[in-house]
Structures are given as structure tokens and as C-alpha cells.
Amino acid sequence: MKIGIVYTSTTPELIADVNRVVREQLGSEIEVFEQQDPSILADVRAAGYVTGAPAARLIRMFMNAVTEGCDAILNVCSSVGEVADCAQDAARYLGVPIVRIDEDMCREAVRRGTRIGVMATLPTTLAPTCGTVRRVAREMGKAVEITECLVDGAFGLNQEEFRERMLACAEQIKDQVDVIVFAQGSMAYCEAYIAEKTGKVVLSSPRFGAAALKEALVKKGLIA
């Protein structure tokens, strides 16, 4: 089996976490075709939304994975999740599912509570993740209240400084929410720490994305 993983961020913590959880789910022998294009996220940040050019580059990476013989594709960036959504019809036709890293995380958040805090370091990730939470809540027949938390100044900090900035912001919203969602996969290494310090359910996307990738391969009949 061969899977494609598409990154728009080259944060070492993110890549390490994704590779670890994917291999935990699918085994160490899985073949991985990895693509990275940080210019996509840079362009989205500069424009404040997903414009045509970076969307086209992302879709090109999806198609590269198909050309390379991948059986499924994991889209890691939440900022461009809607681009993955728009490519799903082509993916179904081609028989190569595109899995969003964050969708099942958002579903789990809605299962866990109705007051959901969404934390992100970038506005361009915060808005799409809140949109995904609202969409899956509607699909699940639940009304939710979302508290947005932009962790200003955290992007690019070292791990210790980042962890403490995350905690300071999480403390500000913890009494308003039932569950906290990390909008960016690169935040995942803080999950247990923030959960312990705040006493809240905290969810990050890599483990959910890996499980969803496995489910997609089960549905194709490639694994049991």
C-alpha cells in the first residue's frame, strides 16, 4: 500500500507527529509519498483567504499522488481543507480518497459537548476550522456554541514558549467551553499538557486524521 501525505507547513513537530500516528495506524511497512509546499500557506496568510493559485497548487499535489500510485491521500493543512472538499468528486472518480486531517476531530468535539473552543495561531486556520465544526454539527443535528481563541504571537515560537502561550490562552476560555479543539496539527504536542493544566477535553488532529486514513483504506478493501 502507498499513501500520499500533503503538507503546506514544514513544522518539524507536525511532520514527526503525522508520520508517527500514520505508522501506528497502518504499520511501519506502509509506503509514503510525501509532498511539501509551504508557499501555499504563505500565500493564504498573505491574502487572508484561499485564492486560486495556492488552491491550484494543492490540487496539483493531490493529482501527483494519484499519478504516483497512492491508494489514499491525507491532506494535513486545515487552512485549505475546503480545497480538499472541492476535490472529493474527482477523488471518488479516481478511486483515491482524500482524507482531511481535521474533520473527524471536529466530529468528536461535537460528540463531546456543545460549547467548543477552537484555538489557532493563524486567522486563516481559525475560520475554516470553526466552519468545519459548524458543518459537522449541522450534519449531526446538534447546535453548538463556538468560542474562538487566536493565540497571537505564538506562530514560530520554540516549543516551551509556544506551550506556555497556548496555556495562557486556554486558561482564558476554559470556563466557557466543554472541549478545546486545536485547529493546527502542529499544536498536537501540547495536547496532553493543556488537557492536564485546564482539566478540559483537548483534541488535536493528527491521530484523528491517521484513523480516518485507515478507515478510507478499509472501505477500499485494502486492509481489514
Side-chain-side CA neighbours of residue 51 (13 Å): 11
Tens of pLDDT, residue by residue over 70-129, are: 999 999 999 999 999 999 999 999 999 999 999 999 999 999 999 999 999 989 899 999
Domains, the chain, with CATH or none: 2-101+207-219 (3.40.50.2300), 103-204 (3.40.50.1860)
Q: Are strands 98-100 and 72-75 parallel, antiparallel or unpaired?
A: parallel
What pLDDT does residue 46 have? 93
> Which triple of cell numbers denotes residue 89?
468528486
Tens of pLDDT, residue by residue over 117-169, are: 999 998 989 999 999 999 999 999 999 999 999 998 877 778 899 999 999 99
- CA–CA gap between residue 199 and residue 190 (Å, rounded): 14
2 phi and psi angles, rounded to 5 deg: -140, 130
Q: Are the C-beta atoms of 98 and 73 separated by less than 8 Å?
A: yes
The answer to whether residue 199 scores a pLDDT higher than 90 is yes
The answer to whether residue 12 scores a pLDDT higher than 80 is yes
- Name the percent of the chain in helix, strand, coil, to the closest 5: 55, 15, 25
| pTM score, whole prediction | 0.92
Taking each helix axis from N to C end, the angle separating 103-112 and 123-139, rounded to the nearest 10 degrees, works out to 60
Tens of pLDDT, residue by residue over 211-220, are: 999 999 999 9
Tell me the average pLDDT of the chain: 94
Tens of pLDDT, residue by residue over 27-81, are: 989 999 999 999 999 999 999 999 999 999 999 999 999 999 999 999 999 999 9
Residue 179 is inside which H or E element, if any? strand 179-182
What pLDDT does residue 212 have? 97
